[in-house]
Structure 1
Amino acid sequence: MQVIKVDDSLAVLLPKKLVDELGIKEGDDVSVLSLAKDAIAVQKAATRAEFLKQIEPLRFPLPADYKFDRDEANGR
């Protein structure tokens, strides 16, 4: 991979094979993790929809008569 200068930052050009493997496209968020002094890992960041799907099992049922009251919740 090659490092290039973009404005005041540095960018890494990802090989097409890796881009295809990760399923990333222009505008996607990715996470870059430092594994060691000379090693990094790149992964596609979870989108909001993917995140909500992952936490779905953590949801608990609300009582049948529950009603959210925005004014009460924001009352001071």
Structure 2
Amino acid sequence: MADKYIPIACQLYDKLEELAVKKVKTKITYLDYYEEKVVEDFIVDFRTKNKEEFLILANGIEIRLDKIITLEN
């Protein structure tokens, strides 16, 4: 993605970690370029590359953290 990464709030990161540790299936709405997408899966890992933070879902999808719009569990 060509747009600049904007770090997320610590509270959101803590919530994402909690969902991953507790293995809670989560519905995530996020932006993929300019398209809004919805996926429901388990968060299995977090990764940083090129100073951008991503979560990894069980199905292999990587979502840049600043592209998350909503979380539902």
TM-score normalised by the shorter chain: which range applies?
Answer: under 0.3
More helix by share: 1
Provide the TM-score with structure 2 as the length reference. 0.24
Provide the TM-score with structure 1 as the length reference. 0.23
**Which structure has the higher relative contact order (CA within 8 Å, separation 6+)?**
2
More strand by share: 2
